[in-house]
Amino acid sequence: MEAVGVVFVLVALGLLVLQILMIAKFFQIAADISAIKNWLMGQGSAKEIIVNVPQNPEPHEQTLPETTPSNETEPWYRQEGETIIFNDGLSGKLQKRFGEWWIYTDRGNQSFTDKEMAIRRLHKDLSEQ
């Protein structure tokens, strides 16, 4: 009879440990959801949320040479949905996801905070292919 009691106590202790781990995991998930919600609402968060790892391991550039035509009154591209069509015949995909502008080229996916910067980089990448 004592063996049954010992087995019962061991099983109960095991379940207790699992329950404590589950509660800790629940609070961790709740904190992650709160951070994602704050980030999506634009309130910022101290915790960095990685949405997508770019396929290209090059460092994230924010300064690009000017590739727009000298005549600033004429648009140098037009946008049709997610497709950007440049006046020189090149075209590529630009998408806004999670508050950032993403470009998709053979070099991989890259994100930018500024739409014009993303379009310039898209044109530069397409020109170099």
The tens digit of pLDDT for each residue in 10-58 reads: 999 999 999 999 999 999 998 888 888 877 776 544 444 444 444 554 5
pLDDT computed for residue 72 by the predictor: 54
Return the residue matching tokens 């290209």: 56
Mean pLDDT of the chain: 78
Return the residue matching tokens 């020189």: 88
Q: List the domain boundaries for the chain.
A: 1-49, 54-129
Q: Is the pLDDT of residue 75 over 50?
A: yes
Task: Give the residue among 128, 116, 125, 127 at the shortest CA–CA distance from 54.
Answer: 125
Q: How many CB atoms lie within 10 A of CB 22?
A: 9
Provide mean pLDDT across the span 75-103.
85
Beta-sheet strand order (sheet of 91-97): 77-80, 83-86, 91-97, 100-105, 108-112
Which is more confident, 120 or 68? 120
pLDDT band of 8, cuts 50, 70, 90: very high
The predicted model scores a pTM of 0.44
